[in-house]
Chain A
Amino acid sequence: MSLHQYILTSMRRAAEEVFATMVGMELSAAEEKVESGSPESTAGVVSFIGVAGAWAGTGSLTCSPLLACRISSRMLVTDISAIDEDVLDAIAELTNMIIGSVKNDLELRVGPLGLSIPTVVYGRNFHTRSASVSQWHVVRFPFDEEELIVKLCVAPLDRRIGEPAAAVRGRHQPHGERREKEAEACLRQDQ
């Protein structure tokens, strides 16, 4: 399995497991693909979480305010009709669990990674953009008439910021370095 497909499959499985276990919802069949990163206009709730290590990037979960309320209501077993702290916190935690699970899978291929604390944005007509990586792994779950979108951009750190590879790799353990090289070669083959 290519690394792109490995990441997409991990994202889909993680989202399905998290929603089934923590929200009590079965997600419908997803559309999975790698998208080039032209910024897209966004309205609604977007939760971001950083991935750091030999590979680094950003994961996100995006949905409409209505869908965020519906998901949070199920998750917290309480009626929620408007975006509030509970909704933003619930969406942040779902992002943490989904991208955290993908991170655990990815560590098997690229070595130890870390996660940041999630950040949630709620608003209209804003744009999101990663300053470094232009390719996003995207899994879209249809949800009634709406969409739940899970995204992840991740790449070897030296390729993201132009730091010499030896300087970056020198900080990692030998077995991590080997896995990192194998994964990077796999990613290049995919492109």
Chain B
Amino acid sequence: MEPDILVVDDSAAIRKILQRVLRQTGMPIRGIHEAADGQEALELMKTQSVDVILTDINMPRMDGIQFLAAVKAAEQWRNIPVLMVTTEGGEAMVGEALRLGASGYVRKPFTADQIKEKLAGVLQPAESS
């Protein structure tokens, strides 16, 4: 499976870094798509197929928790794995993301290995099924 990956972060710098890190993992990837907040991501997902989502939490307009809730509430998107990539390390915020159905959590600052490990973790179950 060559996944389409959606990166959601209000920081263009982080989106560029994640693009680079994802390419460097050596994993087969069909496409990497970007959105600056949850609302923009939901709009993009109406026309673009997505297999994995990496999203920040603190974003303007629609934050990562609201975006996650919207994805998990939609029949056509609820099985898409969502990884939270954020500075937020508080138990309450991480707990809420996991309760809403997030597949994992990567704390910023992150290394390429951390992203690769989490990504492999959410892609492997889909590949083996």
Asked whether A21 lies within 8 Å of B109 as measured between CB atoms, the reply is: yes
Within the complex, the shortest CB–CB distance from A114 to chain B, in Å, comes to: 8
As a 0/1 sequence over residues 33 to 76 of chain B, the CB contacts with chain A under 8 angstroms (1 = contact) are 00000000000000000000000001110000000000000000
Q: Are B87 and A101 in contact (CB under 8 A)?
A: yes
Which residues 77-129 of B have a CB within 8 angstroms of A? 87-90, 92, 108-111
Beyond A76-B16, A97-B109, is A107–B90 a contact (Cβ under 8 Å)?
Answer: yes
0/1 string, B8-32, CB within 8 A of A gives 1: 0011111011001000000000000
Residues of A within 8 A of B13 (CB): 72, 75-76, 86, 89-90, 92-93
B90 adjacent to A89 (CB under 8 Å): no
Q: Is the interface of B mostly helix, strand, loop or mixed?
A: loop
- B12, B109, B111 interface centre (most CB from chain A within 10 Å): B109
* A38 adjacent to chain B (CB < 8 Å): no
Q: Which residues of A contact B60 (CB under 8 A)?
A: 117
Q: Which single residue of chain A is at the shortest CB-CB distance from B11?
A: A93
Chain B residues bordering chain A, tally (CB within 8 A): 20
Check if A58 is an interface residue, CB within 8 A of chain B: no
With A75-B17, A101-B87, A115-B58: A21-B12 Cβ-Cβ less than 8 Å: no
Secondary structure type dominating chain A contacts: helix
Is B87 touching A21 in the complex (CB atoms < 8 A)?
Answer: no
Interface residues on A, range: 20 to 34
Q: A117 vs B111: C-alpha distance in the bound complex, in angstroms?
A: 23
B90 to chain A, nearest CB (A): 5
A residues 78-101 touching B (CB-CB < 8 Å): 85-86, 89-90, 92-93, 96-97, 100-101
A101 nearest CB neighbor, chain B only = B87
Q: Are A86 and B10 in contact (CB under 8 A)?
A: no
A107 to B90, CA, bound (A): 7
> Does A187 touch B at the CB level, under 8 Å?
no
Question: Cα distance A161–B89 when bound, in Å?
Answer: 27
Contact of B92 among A76, A103, A112 (CB under 8 A): A112
**12 pairs from A and B in contact (CB 8 Å cutoff):** A18-B109, A21-B109, A86-B12, A92-B11, A97-B87, A97-B108, A100-B88, A104-B87, A104-B89, A107-B89, A112-B92, A115-B87
Which residues from chain A sit less than 8 Å from chain B, CB to CB? 17-18, 21-22, 72, 75-77, 85-86, 89-90, 92-93, 96-97, 100-101, 103-104, 107, 112-113, 115, 117
Beyond A86-B12, A97-B87: 14 further Cβ-contacts under 8 Å? A21-B110, A21-B111, A22-B109, A22-B110, A75-B13, A86-B13, A93-B11, A96-B58, A97-B109, A100-B108, A104-B90, A112-B90, A115-B88, A117-B60
